[in-house]
Amino acid sequence: MNQDGLKKQAAEKAAEFVQDNMTIGLGTGSTVYYLVEAIAKRIQREHLKLTGVATSMRTHRQAESLGIHMVDLDSAGPIDLTIDGADEIDTNFQGIKGGGAAHLIEKIVAINSARNIWIVDSSKLVKTLGAFPLPIEVIPFGSARLVKSLAFEGLNPKFRLGEDGKRALTDSKNFIVDLHMEKISHPHLLASWLNKQVGIVEHGLFLDLVNTVVVGTENGTKVLDAHRG
């Protein structure tokens, strides 16, 4: 099965966690695309009543087009469950997100959710984070100076560019800088340091947020639960 098939497999399994009358957070990315389709099919088939909160404009548009009732975060009640993808997940259920430039809003929705589940194909599971560049969202003002400071610290920062060759913009009109570190041995220490840097809006380290990961593998879908070891 190709990678898209594995993503679809994981997404359809994760859709089974959705229950009637839930308010659900919908993440962003290629795996979540399949998730939204799967949830919409369940709504049609089982007549579920769901309210969705999206983490990006593209997810919001897709969900609405498929008949999912969508609201913004401030209008929503308590979020029962958020399902999202991830770019890397280590053996301690810590993750890197932001390959789709939506990690700021994704993190806001995640911390406001009673439960978070990640859906990935097996290539996203790693022993140690860092092979995937760590995204940080930065305000445009002073961003070049901030990048020089990050480079001085040995974090190998690079502005992310769009298809037009210009600096990519998030939904909040900020820049994305990717830190090409190769290995992050102490993610909590790095997260704490990044949190203190003026001009960084949010980083893509998602720590201590998720205990359940649904993985699409060549041998079928696996549900990994941190509480089960």
Catalytic residues: 106
Beta-strand relationship, 134-138 and 95-96: unpaired
Count CB atoms within 10 A of the CB of residue 190. 20
| CA separation for the pair 222, 217 (Å, rounded) | 7
Tokens 């919908």 locate to: 26
| CA separation for the pair 37, 63 (Å, rounded) | 8
| CA separation for the pair 38, 154 (Å, rounded) | 43
| CA separation for the pair 208, 200 (Å, rounded) | 21
Count CB atoms within 10 A of the CB of residue 30. 15
- The values of phi and psi at residue 133, to 5°, are -55, 135
Name residue 131's amino acid.
A
Nearest to residue 83, comparing CAs of 43, 154, 131, 34? 34
Beta-strand relationship, 69-70 and 51-54: parallel
Chain centroid to Cα 122, Å, comes to: 16
